[in-house]
C-alpha cells in the first residue's frame, strides 16, 4: 500500500478499498483509452479488462502513452498489460485482442462495474451503449478528440448536450434510430475541429490524454458518490 500513500491522504483506507475493488472495461487502448488505463492503474483500481485489435504504429507515438520507439509493431493490449503491471504488479488485468463487433461481443461479456468507451467505431460505440443499458452498467463514452488542439474545451456532459462534435452528432442520429433517449455520459470538446483538408484526423498529445483522464475521473467520481 506504500505506493498509494499520497492517495490515502485524500481518501480513508476503508473507502479506498471499496473504491478500488471494481471491475472496469476499457474498449480502445489508444490515445484516450491508454491514458484512462494509466489513471485507473495509478489510482489503484484492481481489476481492468482491455479490448483492442491494433498493433502500435510509429504515428501513434505523438499521443499514445503505451507507445515508444522500442515497441512499434507490437500488440497494443500486450504492451498496455506490461505497462500496467510495471506500475502495479498484482493488478488483475484481462485482455481481448479483437476488433469488437456484434459477432464477437459475447466474448467479452462479464460482470463489469463500469465501461469506458474509448474506441473510434460508431457501430461498436452503439453496441457498448446498448450493452450498458441492458446490463445497467454505467458507461462513459469518449467522443471526437481528433483535429482539436485545446484540452480546456473538453467537458463531461450527456450525448444530447454536445456542440461542435461531429462524432457526437453521428451517435445522436444512431441512438434516435435505435429509439434510445437515455442521457449517455460523454467526454466531448466544444472546440471547432481544425480543417485539415484530409480524411485522416490530426492529433497531438494534448486533447486525447485529457479526455482519457476525464473518463477515468468519471468512473472514480461516480463510484465515490455511490459510497458517500
DSSP-assigned letters across all residues of 48-106: EEEE--PBP-GGGTTT-TT--TTSTTSBHHHHHHHHHHHH-TT-EEEEE-S---TTTGG
Query: How high is the pLDDT of residue 196?
Result: 87
Nearest by Cα to 67 from 107, 30, 109: 30
Q: Can you tell me the mean pLDDT for 79-83? A: 98
Task: Please tell me whether the overall predicted TM-score, pTM, comes out greater than 0.95 for this model.
Answer: yes
CA distance linking residue 28 with residue 35, whole number of Å: 11
Count of beta carbons in the 10 Å neighbourhood of residue 148: 25
CA distance linking residue 190 with residue 8, whole number of Å: 34
Give the three-class secondary structure for 140: strand
Which residues, other chains included, contact 121 with Cβ-Cβ below 8 Å and sequence gap of 6+? Answer: none
CA distance linking residue 23 with residue 82, whole number of Å: 19
Q: Can you tell me the mean pLDDT for 39-45? A: 97
Domain 2-144+203-227 class, CATH top level: alpha beta
pLDDT at 153 over 80: yes
Query: How high is the pLDDT of residue 228?
Result: 77
Query: How high is the pLDDT of residue 200?
Result: 85
Query: How high is the pLDDT of residue 1?
Result: 73
Range list of β-strands (E), the chain:
23-27, 47-51, 92-96, 114-117, 139-142, 154-158, 185-189
Amino acid at each position: 500500500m506504500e505506493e498509494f500513500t499520497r492517495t490515502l491522504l485524500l481518501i480513508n483506507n476503508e473507502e479506498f478499498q471499496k473504491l478500488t475493488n471494481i471491475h472496469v472495461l476499457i474498449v480502445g487502448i489508444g490515445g484516450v483509452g491508454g491514458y484512462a488505463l494509466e489513471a485507473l492503474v495509478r489510482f489503484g483500481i484492481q481489476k481492468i479488462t482491455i479490448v483492442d485489435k491494433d498493433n502500435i504504429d510509429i504515428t501513434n507515438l505523438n499521443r499514445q502513452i503505451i507507445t515508444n520507439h522500442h515497441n512499434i509493431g507490437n500488440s497494443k493490449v500486450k504492451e498496455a498489460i506490461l505497462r500496467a503491471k510495471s506500475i502495479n504488479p498484482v493488478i488483475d488485468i484481462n485482455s481481448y485482442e479483437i476488433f469488437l463487433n456484434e459477432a464477437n461481443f459475447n466474448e467479452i461479456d462479464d460482470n463489469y462495474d463500469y465501461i469506458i468507451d474509448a474506441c473510434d467505431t460508431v457501430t461498436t460505440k452503439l453496441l457498448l451503449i446498448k450493452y450498458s443499458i441492458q446490463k445497467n452498467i454505467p458507461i462513459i463514452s469518449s467522443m471526437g478528440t481528433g483535429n482539436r488542439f485545446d484540452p480546456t474545451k473538453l467537458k463531461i456532459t450527456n450525448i444530447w448536450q454536445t456542440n461542435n462534435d461531429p462524432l457526437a452528432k453521428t451517435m445522436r442520429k444512431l441512438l434516435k434510430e435505435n429509439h434510445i433517449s437515455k442521457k449517455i455520459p460523454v467526454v466531448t470538446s466544444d472546440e471547432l475541429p481544425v480543417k485539415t483538408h484530409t480524411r485522416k484526423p490530426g492529433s497531438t498529445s494534448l486533447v486525447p490524454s485529457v479526455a482519457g483522464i476525464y473518463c477515468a475521473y468519471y468512473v472514480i467520481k461516480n463510484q465515490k458518490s455511490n459510497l458517500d
